[in-house]
Amino acid sequence: MFGLFVRFTCKDEAAATAARTGEQIRAHEPGTVVYAVHRVDGQPLQRAFYELYQDEAAFDEHESKDYVRAFLSERDKYLSATEVDRLSFVSGKGVEG
């Protein structure tokens, strides 16, 4: 099991409401176990993501998708800050390590 915790700060409200890739991830990424996007209370331009993959190969597959690559190549248009923490699974409920 491999995961990421990501925090984006969007440049403006239009960027904060831009199209998401969630539907593509659900349809085309069986190795993506959890891909959850959250608004941050009191920070209307921030989004927090919890991403959990079966393994690093599933994460690499996610990163290779056209819709992910397109976002990554254009994210500077939409984001003023990005923080990424790589996570090593220890334990949890609802997922197997």
Q: For the beta carbon of residue 78, count every other beta carbon within 10 angstroms.
A: 16
* Percentage with pLDDT > 90 across the chain: 72
Handedness of CA 20, 21, 27, 29 (dihedral sign): negative
Domains, in order of start, for the chain: 2-88 (3.30.70.100)
Model's pTM, two decimal places? Answer: 0.85
Q: Is the pLDDT of residue 17 over 90?
A: no
Q: 45-80 pLDDT, tens per residue?
A: 999 999 999 999 999 999 999 999 998 899 999 999
Q: Could you tell me the pLDDT band of residue 23, with boundaries at 50, 70 and 90?
A: confident
Beta bridge partners of 53: 2, 32
